[in-house]
Amino acid sequence: MNPGAFFLRGCGAEWQLGHPLAEAAMRLIAISLIFIIIMMPATAPAAMYKHVDENGVVTYTDKPSAIQEEEFQPPEISNVESVRPPPPGTLIKRREPAAKGSSYKIKVSSPANDSTLRDPQGNVNLSFTMEPPLDLDAGHRLVVFMDGAKLVTIEQNTHSLSNMDRGTHKVRGEIQDQAGKTIARSNEATFHVKRQTK
């Protein structure tokens, strides 16, 4: 038997490729397949429904219920072209380093959190630990907040207060740029002032 032969078996007959009836049958099969593919209905997405219950919980489903629901139209999916890598030999620009001072670390070092300060004049020395040091050339400043209100803007990491009221106070610091934007924020330290008199 010729290995290159094509056999169409049916009705007890064998037709070799090249036979007029075999070629006609193949054409008929190909045309039928193309017709079936073209006539197949496109699969449409199922309708989606949005329901909000009395507690404000939103539920999306593809089955309508007896409760009045609005039909939900999902957003269209847009095709986004993927970024192609540059061809070999292309010079790639290095990413610019982050702005200086954008990675400050700042902490209230004095008074210690939950400490009690006993001073008849109510003197309190504030101190902040920061890394790196303030970049004064870039316009960075330390803003001290006491009990939630802005107290003072300074160019160093220490500040002295006097005649502080008795009681509990909270202090924190922020490093801000020239525009007043906060770059870094410290922890908030709580301290207690006791003004003992003889």
Segment 47-84, tens digit of pLDDT: 777 777 778 788 777 777 666 556 656 666 666 666 77
Q: Is the pTM of this model over 0.75?
A: no
Question: What are the pLDDT digits (tens) for 74-108?
Answer: 666 666 666 777 777 666 665 544 444 458 899 99
Secondary structure of 10-73 in the HEC alphabet? Answer: ECCEEECECEHHHHHHHHHHHHHHHHHHHHCCCCCCCCEEEEECCCCCEEEECCCCCCCCEEEC
Coil/strand/helix, residue 137: helix
d(CA 26, CA 33): 11
